[in-house]
Amino acid sequence: MTLEKSKKGQLVKIISIPNQTVRAQAIRFGIAEGENVVCQEVIPLGPVILQKNKQEIAIGRKLASQIKVEPVA
């Protein structure tokens, strides 16, 4: 599944960022493959808000649609 499809409060692991440009943008946000992040909020027609440690990061839908994640049990 992709990051934009994650649910509020869900813990997900980033498994793949296929596009090199998208990967570079994600790394600037402090997000890399293998990281666990919490989906804080999915704003309708807006960004996906993630939490990593104590930092909140807003990821645009277009970027979020290209980041593959899997739920962490």
Q: Are strands 68-71 and 36-42 parallel, antiparallel or unpaired?
A: unpaired
Which tens digits make up the pLDDT trace of 4-56?
999 999 999 999 998 898 889 888 888 899 999 999 999 998 999 999 989 99
The CATH number linked to 10 is: 2.30.30.90
70 close to 1: Cβ distance less than 8 angstroms = yes
What's the rounded Cα separation, in Å, for the pair 53 and 29?
13
* Number of domains making up the chain: 1
Range of the domain at 53: 3-71
What pLDDT score was predicted for residue 11? Answer: 97
What pLDDT score was predicted for residue 36? Answer: 95
